[in-house]
A and B are shown apart, each in its own frame.
Chain A
Amino acid sequence: MSVSLKIAVRFLKSSRGQTILIVLGIAIGISVQIFIGSLIQGLQKSLVETTIGNASQITVVSPDDDKRFSDPERVMQAIRQAEGQITALSPALDQAGLATDGDETGSVLIRGLDFAAAEPIYALADRIVQGRLPSASDEAVIGKVLQAEWDVAIGDTLDVTVAGGKRLTYTVCGVFDLQVQSLNTSWFLTTLASAQERFDLAGQVTSIEMQVESGDVFLADTIAAELQALPELMDLEVTNWKAQNEQLLSGLNGQSVSSIMIQVFVVVSVVLAIASVLAISVMQKSRQIGILKAMGIKSRQASLVFLYQGLILGVLGGLAGVALGLGLAYSFTVFARNPDGTPVVALLIDPAFFVLSFLIAVTASSLASLIPARKSARLDPIEVIRNG
């Protein structure tokens, strides 16, 4: 152990109260920084998840007037080969229609889905609240809002008029709840085969919907651009959720920026606190530094005494801060709960973020000790010896 480190440790030990206070100060600052960071990250993650977790993140559509294109298998094959990050790939044939039940009338969107392929996107198996998914070509499931408004029971039939005046009859075999009011009102789901058969659009679809790996959701625009470049998709249009949710994105951005601002100011105040305490400490220890210099300690060694103090305070404060931050985050998720028992905000406990915060604490404390270290290096022993 170098003599500077030895002296630094002894200085910190000898003024124990001061050391504990400053470690506590760093710890509280860092824990607040960690807490705010985790809170905002968690908030954003759950916001993104509720917005696009159960929706198409990248969608292939046709720019043609009829919005339809054929041979989706060829397109899907090309996408599968080109991109590894795609976790779901589901063709759909949509058709707007007017549903009637006695004297009730409402516009619906008839969606012909390949339920197996659509499962990773919409998780319909879990969201069927009554009945089952359709299998026969005249079966359909409707949303729970429509079901409640029209008081439809499983097994009832509904008439739907689609574009071109064609009138189709469906038997309601189930009710879904997608947790979005508009979808629960307007979506009218059948199998893809049924839609293609009954609309006389064999082999055609209106869209191919995709999801990407959860770590890549913010790369959706890049992936979409790559897909657009594929020759098989030349005549088609690839859209992504980021292009369709600009407001959400700018909201998230604003949130991130303000969260970083808060974190930066917390860290700045920690740095100032450490710097001022260490500056006072140089004054308190100037007599000792003077004696050490008379005995031949070099300026570099004298400044290291204070750099080490900053480093030690940073490590101790950082560790305590991470522990405190974890405790804070944990108690927040345990005690702040919704009536149904889920946490109000699911904090994101990201080990990399914690390590980063710890490193920030150590770096900040070391930086804060630079000024006192310089003072210590410059202290002239004769001042101390002459003035007693």
Chain B
Amino acid sequence: MAKAIELNGINKIYGTAIRTQVLFDIDLAFEEQSFNSIIGQSGSGKSTLMNIMGTLDRPTSGTVTIGGIQTGSMSKNDLAVVRNETIGFIFQFHYLLPEFTALENVLMPYLIKHNRPTAEVRERANELMELVGLGKVKNNLATQMSGGQQQRTAIARALIMNPKIILADEPTGNLDSDTTEIVYEILRKVNSQFKTTFVIITHDRKIAEKADRIVEIRDGRISLDIARPII
């Protein structure tokens, strides 16, 4: 099967005077439509890895290939288009825009590209809000929702452009266990329904074990890479 994301020889070094290397020669690829998790302790470099996969950060050396296209030589604006059209982000701290309602936040990636929402995309946004169980509070301001509701709104936002890849960094990091369960159910549902590739970073082994493949990062290197046998 084709690769959604391919990392080759990724090194990441922070600082110039005092150099801190956080990633060492990472080679990693994720297949399309797969549901993957990356685990590791805090400081292991997993968030940096995700930011590099998502083109938010550039590696010190190595190549990032998204959907078969190398991103190394792309301009800032070209990368912005790639992020807008092919990648959906779900961050640990949900990062909604507090000035906008939940529904407007969900529509924002579409507005960035097209300026004006069509009736179809509005309909889709409403459906996504229903999918994440927020049909009733979709017109609340982002700040007037609970943490779980905000996180689910962020999931709906990540889906609005129908991206090939969703990168999620500790999407349930600050949610209670019941809500965590709900959020994972939603992510799996999206994966099977929309065939979206998922890469989820978590430090929770229980969660990680629900993925089809688990990659463990330790001190900037891949220490474990196992695929769950397909039953």
Interface on A for B, CB 8 Å cutoff?
1-3, 6-7, 10-11, 13-14, 287-288, 291-301, 381-382, 385-386, 388
Whether B98 lies near A14 (C-beta < 8 A) is yes
Whether A292 lies near B112 (C-beta < 8 A) is yes
Say if the beta carbon of B224 comes within 8 Å of chain A.
no
Say if the beta carbon of B111 comes within 8 Å of chain A.
yes
Contact sample, A vs B, 11 pairs, CB 8 Å cutoff: A6-B111, A7-B99, A11-B99, A291-B96, A294-B54, A294-B83, A296-B82, A296-B85, A297-B112, A299-B76, A382-B57
Q: Top 5 closest A-B pairs, CB basis?
A: A296-B84, A3-B111, A14-B99, A296-B83, A10-B99
Q: With a CB–CB cut-off of 8 A, which chain B residues contact A296?
A: 80-85, 109, 112-113
Partner of A291, one of B80, B82, B97, B115: B97
Q: With a CB–CB cut-off of 8 A, which chain B residues contact A1?
A: 115-116
In chain B, what residue has the closest Cβ to A288? B97
In chain A, what residue has the closest Cβ to B78? A298
Provided the pairs A1-B116, A298-B77, A382-B56 are in contact, do residues A292 and B97 lie with their beta carbons within 8 angstroms? yes
Whether A295 lies near B51 (C-beta < 8 A) is no
In chain B, what residue has the closest Cβ to A378? B76
Say how far A55's CB is from chain B's closest CB, in angstroms.
Answer: 64
Interface on B for A, CB 8 Å cutoff?
47, 51, 54, 56-57, 76-77, 80-85, 89, 91, 93, 95-100, 108-109, 111-113, 115-116, 157
Q: With a CB–CB cut-off of 8 A, which chain A residues contact B115?
A: 1-3
Q: With a CB–CB cut-off of 8 A, which chain A residues contact B116?
A: 1
Cα–Cα distance between A13 and B100 once the two chains are bound (Å): 11
Cα–Cα distance between A2 and B115 once the two chains are bound (Å): 5
Cα–Cα distance between A293 and B109 once the two chains are bound (Å): 10
In chain A, what residue has the closest Cβ to B77? A298
Q: With a CB–CB cut-off of 8 A, which chain A residues contact B76?
A: 298-299
Cα–Cα distance between A388 and B83 once the two chains are bound (Å): 19
Whether A385 lies near B51 (C-beta < 8 A) is yes
Partner of A388, one of B51, B93, B96, B108: B93
Whether A295 lies near B91 (C-beta < 8 A) is no
With A295-B83, A296-B82, A386-B51 known, 5 other A-B pairs at CB within 8 A are A3-B108, A11-B99, A288-B99, A295-B112, A297-B80
In chain A, what residue has the closest Cβ to B111? A3
Partner of B84, one of A7, A295, A386: A295
Cα–Cα distance between A308 and B51 once the two chains are bound (Å): 30
Whether B108 lies near A292 (C-beta < 8 A) is yes
Cα–Cα distance between A382 and B56 once the two chains are bound (Å): 6
Whether A295 lies near B98 (C-beta < 8 A) is no
Whether A299 lies near B51 (C-beta < 8 A) is no
Provided the pairs A13-B99, A288-B97, A382-B57 are in contact, do residues A293 and B80 lie with their beta carbons within 8 angstroms? yes
Cα–Cα distance between A10 and B108 once the two chains are bound (Å): 13
Q: With a CB–CB cut-off of 8 A, which chain A residues contact B82?
A: 296
In chain A, what residue has the closest Cβ to B47? A386
Partner of A295, one of B57, B93, B108: B108
Cα–Cα distance between A297 and B85 once the two chains are bound (Å): 11
Q: With a CB–CB cut-off of 8 A, which chain A residues contact B108?
A: 3, 292, 295
In chain A, what residue has the closest Cβ to B93? A388
Q: With a CB–CB cut-off of 8 A, which chain A residues contact B85?
A: 296
Q: With a CB–CB cut-off of 8 A, which chain B residues contact A292?
A: 97, 108, 112
In chain A, what residue has the closest Cβ to B100? A10
Whether A385 lies near B112 (C-beta < 8 A) is no
Q: With a CB–CB cut-off of 8 A, which chain B residues contact A293?
A: 80
Say how far B72's CB is from chain A's closest CB, in angstroms.
Answer: 16
In chain B, what residue has the closest Cβ to A291? B95
Q: With a CB–CB cut-off of 8 A, which chain B residues contact A301?
A: 112
Q: With a CB–CB cut-off of 8 A, which chain B residues contact A6?
A: 111
Whether B89 lies near A294 (C-beta < 8 A) is yes
Say how far B67's CB is from chain A's closest CB, in angstroms.
Answer: 15
In chain A, what residue has the closest Cβ to B95? A291
Whether B83 lies near A385 (C-beta < 8 A) is no
Cα–Cα distance between A32 and B85 once the two chains are bound (Å): 50
Whether B112 lies near A3 (C-beta < 8 A) is yes
Cα–Cα distance between A292 and B115 once the two chains are bound (Å): 13
Cα–Cα distance between A161 and B113 once the two chains are bound (Å): 96
Cα–Cα distance between A7 and B104 once the two chains are bound (Å): 11
Say how far B100's CB is from chain A's closest CB, in angstroms.
Answer: 6
Q: With a CB–CB cut-off of 8 A, which chain A residues contact B99?
A: 7, 10-11, 13-14, 288
